[in-house]
Structure 1
Amino acid sequence: MTDQPHLLVVDDDARLRSLLQRFLTEAGFRITVAADAAEARAALKAVAFDMLVLDVMMPGETGLELVADLRARRNDVPVLMLTARGAPDERVAGFESGADDYLAKPFDPRELAHRVRTILRRAVPVPNAVPPQKGPIQLGQRWFDPDRSELRGPDGTQRLTGGEAALLGALAAHAGEVLSRETIAEALGTPDAGERAVDVQVTRLRRKIEPDPREPRFLHTIRHKGYVLRPGP
């Protein structure tokens, strides 16, 4: 079916790559595979994938390096990273590089499919997924449109990753209200990622909405409670 999400699976382990291709195909996705970052780059030039499922540790360019470079090039394709190391610091490193979610090996294939679907839902906003807004929300010289998950300003439309758009959408839906890190993680679809992963996403978002991320005007930290978005000119 042409409306099946098209995933690029990148892993240097041929056996795991084959298993991922088979399972994700059975789960209803179209799959292209690549053995390393170089093959992945070639595939990305030829096809607009809906999502990447990307191994962290690969010979040559690592998955972390690849996704960081994609983000630097303003490519916001959703990314789920796979790794044999699931320590909190490893997960945070994945989010810092620009990944949308992180799954440690070994994993249940059903959980993998669930994570993929969750990320894809975030990437394509669902009508009425958040409470209706009265219009775009002003953040200085930029405006966030919750219905389109777009951040617009004098320099045009600012590209947001799926995670950044979900975070800003959740905060915008409750503008002026303090949201705990746990609530935000649920809204992002990553409840087990940990508080530091939420902090990383907030840091990345501030770089795009704040005139000076070191002195936030709009996205404030409320100590021991969480975060609050306070729109304004």
Structure 2
Amino acid sequence: MRLLLVEDDAALRLGLARQLEAEGYRVDQAADGADGLFQAREYPVDLAIVDLGLPKVDGITIVQKLRAEGRTLPILVLTARGSWQEKVRGLEAGADDYLVKPFDYPELAARVKALLRRATKSASDVLSFGTLAIDLSAQVARLAGEPLELTAFEFRLLEYLARERARVVSKKELSDYLYPHDEDRDSNVLEVLIGRLRKKLDPDGALQPIETLRGRGYRFALE
């Protein structure tokens, strides 16, 4: 899953990003509120972690603007202020949860997992589609109980299509999700990844798990 971390304390931001990436998350970083707001608007983000005391644009304003624009991604706010008024302000602005600094990383990780489960309307970290099980926490997919040998890119691709299974996902949206926003994208690479993923999910050609809708994108077809 793709997270956005907006924090002006470089040591804290880099440390949290490193720990979250070690758990399999893709983490985009922003050192100020203006860049954080831009990234949240421009790229498909599953969850945002936003410090309230940011330069350029403060965290409360980021939350308010995103909610006013109808963006429903989960938002966890971080604050060094321990007063109940600040917590209430963050929640009233539209944040889903808050964490007061200093905090231990396991607490943040637990909050992130809980918010992501709530957002995907899942009681667990496992998405199941017949014989296919996708464990979002362990970053493992299993077919008929056997683990599939997926690259990190293939797993992220599968995870995103499965979570967005109710709609068609365009090539651009998939590319934005898979690649850093400053990296060149090649649509041919995406097509190769889709082809490899299809073969691994459906070696016998019986399931047809990923549909191609010409000129529109892809749709996850399993239920």
TM-score by length of 1: 0.51
Q: Following TM superposition, by how much is the alpha carbon of 1:26 offset from its aligned partner in structure 2, in angstroms? A: 1.4
Q: Residue deviations 1:63-83, cap 9 Å, x none?
A: 011101111111111100001
SS of the residue corresponding to residue 9 of structure 1 reads: strand
CA contact (8 A) 2:6 2:32 kept: yes
Number of equivalent positions: 124
Cα deviation for residue 127 of structure 1 reads 6.7
Matched, 1:42 2:33: no
What are the equivalent positions in structure 2 for 1:213-224 lying under 5 Å apart?
none
State how far apart, in whole Å, the 2-side matches of 1:127 and 1:63 are.
29
Whole-angstrom CA distance in 2 between matches of 1:11 and 1:127: 29
Match of 1:49, SS state, is coil
Question: Structure 1 stretches of 5 or more lacking a match?
Answer: 129-233
Q: Give the counterpart letter for 1:69 in structure 2.
A: K
| Aligned partner of residue 116 in structure 2, secondary structure | helix
Question: What corresponds to 1:83 in structure 2?
Answer: 79
- 1:10 is aligned, of 6, 10, 14, to 6
1:66 counterpart (42, 62, 65): 62
Q: Is the contact between residue 10 and residue 35 of structure 1 (CA under 8 Å) also seen in structure 2?
A: yes
Question: 1:105 matched to which residue of 2?
Answer: 101
The match for 1:30 is: 26
| Contact persistence 1:27–1:113 (CA under 8 A) | no
Identity of matched residues, %: 44
Select which of 89, 100, 123 maps to 2:119: 123
Is the partner of 1:86 in helix, strand or coil? coil
Hey, what does 2:88 align to over in structure 1?
92
Q: Which moved more, 1:16-25 or 1:98-107?
A: 16-25
SS at match of 1:8: strand
The 4+ residue runs of structure 1 with deviation greater than 2 A are: none
In structure 2, runs of 5+ residues without a counterpart are 125-223
- Cα pair 1:55 1:63 within 8 Å, conserved: yes
Taking the TM superposition and a 5 Å limit, the aligned residue runs for 1:118-197 are: 118-126=114-122
TM-score of the superposed pair, with normalisation by structure 2: 0.53
